[in-house]
């Protein structure tokens, strides 16, 4: 069934495995599509593996042979199948190479039908009962426009469970195998090539992680049992990220969509989320911070240096505390690895007159400025380009000098407004419930001019 907020779950599945995300209602309405109209299963047709004699680069790319009628699928993919993914060395694995998220490559017959119409000179290749793009499993029943990131498929005939991590991004071998007879010749990935079309539309297949090992056999049914991200089809994601060329990512979406994808647990990292995070970091660093007056006034470098070390409180959420100290190499750092298992680090941008930091919050780079509040600027607030804020506590956790930001209007239970955290100055810089409010998801919009 489909939950009230748009996520898909199957009642026949254990409740512990059900998980839903907020719906993308605007996207569905724009495309005149109900998520309930989506197909709900894939039929396995054939399985393929690289020929054992093929070591290194092949003279003809994507030459495959039929795999056994029944194959075991474990966390490395099809058992005994040699791929780039399961051939990673221990050294590569230790560097965080995405072994698990690329375990199995599937392709839909529907995608090949679309490519046959688009490139009729290769229609026979795409319709043959082989693996034209080198996939391991050929399926039917859905395509790039109906498969979503995070979709969980479970076999009807074994314990196998596969989770979609991202579309297959085609490399130069696609154009080597399927060149177009044009004069002058197109370079690989240029507009009009097979590689470019596949990358822009997500029709090159999709990678899956193995959530539970099991067997797969020709004719098996893979049922869709969980859909946490109904708005993020393979096609939509590909068009937003690689709509012009598969060689480099060129983001073509909104700030809110970019933030969502950067934080989407279901999206794999390699060639996708890691690049989105870098793009977002670049945007945040290049876009000038515009701090509204109601968030105080920027402190000068000397003022900020007197306040930065000590304890800060993250406002909103769980309101955790962070203690900042000066490291041996002169960087500002947190005493604990509180950000995805990593430390907060920052260095002063000395060329700026105001106190401005270049920040690495875990794995995410961003900028931060310090604002002053209250009598003689005695209260301080760190405002980050990502939209989060920290209030200054000082050297001791006495709570007397905190700036707290909390909801004070029952009409807006999820909104936040500024309130004084110091009873000695009850009205010196507080804001009432009628003042301007914001939600954590829109804070960044206040800091940046409209794009």
Task: Annotate the chain with three-state secondary structure.
Answer: CECCCCCEECCCCCHHHCCCCCCCHHHHHHCCCCHHHCCCEEEEEEEEEECCCCCCCCCCCCCEEECCCEEEEECCEECCCCCCCCCCCHHHHHCCCCCHHHCEEEEEHHHHHHHHHHCHHHHHHHHCCCCCCCCCEEEECCCCCCCECCCEEEECCCCCEEEEEEECCCCCHHHHHCCCCCCCCCCCCCCCCHHHHHHHHCCCCEEEEEEECEEEECCCEEEEEEECCCCCEHHHHHHHHHCCCCCCCCCCCCHHHHHHHHCCCCCCHHHHHHHHHHHHHHHHHHCCCCCCHHHCEECEHHHHHCCCCEEEEECCCCCCEEEEEECCCCCEEECCCCECCECEEEEECCCCCECEEEEEECCEEEEEEEEEECHHHCEEEEEECCCCEEEEEECCCCCCCCCEEECCCCCCCCCEEEECCCCCCCCCCCCCCCCCCECHHHHHHHHCCCC
Residues 98 and 221 in one domain: yes
Residues 81 and 212 in one domain: yes
| pLDDT recorded at residue 128 | 73
Residues 248 and 221 in one domain: yes
pLDDT tens track for 233-249: 999 999 999 999 999 99
Residue 146's CATH number:
2.40.33.20
Question: Does residue 288 lie in a domain region?
Answer: no
**Whole-angstrom Cα distance, residue 134 to residue 48?**
8
| pLDDT recorded at residue 64 | 86
Q: Of 283, 314, 343, which residue constitutes the final position of a domain?
A: 283
**Whole-angstrom Cα distance, residue 342 to residue 360?**
10
Question: Does residue 272 lie in a domain region?
Answer: yes
**Whole-angstrom Cα distance, residue 413 to residue 430?**
19
Residue 149 near residue 264, CB atoms below 8 Å:
yes
Residues 6+ apart with CB under 8 A from 47: 66, 67, 68, 71, 78, 136, 137, 138, 216, 218
Give, in degrees to the nearest 5, the angle at Cα 187 between 182 and 192: 60
CA distances to 293, 299, 374 from 420, in Å: 16, 19, 9
Q: Which of 324-328, 363-367, 368-372, 403-407 has the highest mean pLDDT?
A: 324-328
| pLDDT recorded at residue 241 | 97
Q: What is the pTM of this model?
A: 0.62
Residue 397 near residue 408, CB atoms below 8 Å:
no
Q: Of 283, 316, 338, which residue constitutes the final position of a domain?
A: 283
**Whole-angstrom Cα distance, residue 132 to residue 112?**
9
| pLDDT recorded at residue 338 | 87
Question: Does residue 2 lie in a domain region?
Answer: no
Percent of the chain with pLDDT strictly greater than 70: 68
Greater confidence (214 vs 362) lies with 214
Residues 147 and 228 in one domain: yes
Residues 43 and 177 in one domain: yes
Residues 273 and 329 in one domain: no
Question: Does residue 3 lie in a domain region?
Answer: no
**Whole-angstrom Cα distance, residue 36 to residue 383?**
42
Residues 193 and 336 in one domain: no
Residue 260 near residue 271, CB atoms below 8 Å:
no
**Whole-angstrom Cα distance, residue 240 to residue 235?**
9
Domains: count for the chain: 2
Q: Give burial (CB, 10 Å; 0-12/13-18/19+) of 188.
A: buried
Residues 6+ apart with CB under 8 A from 423: none
Residues 15 and 160 in one domain: yes
| pLDDT recorded at residue 405 | 36
Give the range among 3-12, 312-321, 360-369 with minimum mean pLDDT: 3-12
| Residue range(s) defining the domain that contains residue 233 | 8-283
Question: Does residue 169 lie in a domain region?
Answer: yes
pLDDT tens track for 58-90: 667 888 888 888 999 999 898 877 665 555 544
Q: How far apart are the first and last CA of the chain?
A: 39
Average pLDDT over residues 421-427: 33
The residue written with tokens 């056999």 in the block is: 217
| pLDDT recorded at residue 445 | 42
| pLDDT recorded at residue 379 | 75
Give the range among 25-34, 164-173, 431-440 with minimum mean pLDDT: 431-440
Question: Does residue 21 lie in a domain region?
Answer: yes
Residues 126 and 253 in one domain: yes
Question: Does residue 214 lie in a domain region?
Answer: yes
Asked if the model's pLDDT at residue 327 lies above 80, the reply is yes
| pLDDT recorded at residue 263 | 92
Q: Of 238, 255, 283, which residue constitutes the final position of a domain?
A: 283
Buried b (16+ CB within 10 A) or exposed e, 283-298: ebeebebebeeebbeb
Distance of CA 226 to the CA centre of its chain: 18
Question: Does residue 1 lie in a domain region?
Answer: no
Residues 203 and 323 in one domain: no
The residue written with tokens 């797969």 in the block is: 216
Q: If you average pLDDT over every residue of the chain, what do you get?
A: 76
Residues 233 and 367 in one domain: no
Greater confidence (414 vs 300) lies with 300
Q: Which of 24-33, 36-45, 208-217, 413-422 has the highest mean pLDDT?
A: 208-217
Average pLDDT over residues 340-366: 87
Residues 233 and 369 in one domain: no
């Amino acid at each position: 069934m489909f939950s009230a907020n748009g996520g898909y779950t199957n009642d026949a599945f254990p409740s512990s495995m059900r998980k839903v995300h907020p719906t993308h209602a605007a996207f569905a309405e724009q495309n005149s599509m109900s998520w309930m109209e989506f197909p709900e299963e894939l039929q396995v047709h054939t399985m393929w593996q690289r020929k054992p004699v093929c070591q290194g680069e092949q003279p003809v790319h994507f030459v495959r042979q039929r795999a056994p009628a029944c194959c075991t699928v474990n966390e490395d993919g099809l058992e005994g199948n040699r791929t780039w993914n399961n051939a990673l060395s221990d050294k590569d694995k230790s560097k965080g190479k995405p072994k698990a998220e690329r375990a199995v490559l599937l392709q839909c017959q529907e995608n090949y039908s679309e490519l046959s119409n688009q490139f009729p000179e290769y229609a026979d290749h795409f319709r043959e009962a082989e693996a034209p793009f080198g996939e391991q499993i050929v399926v039917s029943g859905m395509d790039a426009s109906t498969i979503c990131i995070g979709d969980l498929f479970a076999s009807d005939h074994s314990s196998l469970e596969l989770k979609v991590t991202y579309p297959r991004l085609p490399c130069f071998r696609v154009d080597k195998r399927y060149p177009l007879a044009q004069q002058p010749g197109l370079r690989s990935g240029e507009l009009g090539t097979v590689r470019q079309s596949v990358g822009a539309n997500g029709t090159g297949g999709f990678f899956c992680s193995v959530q539970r090992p099991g067997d797969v056999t020709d004719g098996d049914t893979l049922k869709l049992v969980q859909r946490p991200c109904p708005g993020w089809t393979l096609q939509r994601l590909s068009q937003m990220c690689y709509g012009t060329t598969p060689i480099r990512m060129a983001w073509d979406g909104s700030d809110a969509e970019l933030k969502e994808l950067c934080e989407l647990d279901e999206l794999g990292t390699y060639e996708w989320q890691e690049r989105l995070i870098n793009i977002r970091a670049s945007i945040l660093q290049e876009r000038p911070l515009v701090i509204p007056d109601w968030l105080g006034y920027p402190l000068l470098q000397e003022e900020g240096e007197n306040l930065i070390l000590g304890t800060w409180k993250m406002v909103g959420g769980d309101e955790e505390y962070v203690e900042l100290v000066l490291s041996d190499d002169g960087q500002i750092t947190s005493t604990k690895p509180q950000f995805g298992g990593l430390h907060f680090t920052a260095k002063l941008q000395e060329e700026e007159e105001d106190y401005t930091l270049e920040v690495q919050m875990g794995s995410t780079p961003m900028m931060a400025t310090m604002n002053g509040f209250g009598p003689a600027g005695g209260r301080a607030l760190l405002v980050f380009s990502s939209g989060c804020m920290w209030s200054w506590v000082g050297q001791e956790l006495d709570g007397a000098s905190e700036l707290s930001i909390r909801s004070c209007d029952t009409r807006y239970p999820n909104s936040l407004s500024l309130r004084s955290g110091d009873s000695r100055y009850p009205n010196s810089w507080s804001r009432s419930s009628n003042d301007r409010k914001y939600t954590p998801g829109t804070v960044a919009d206040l800091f940046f001019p409209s794009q």
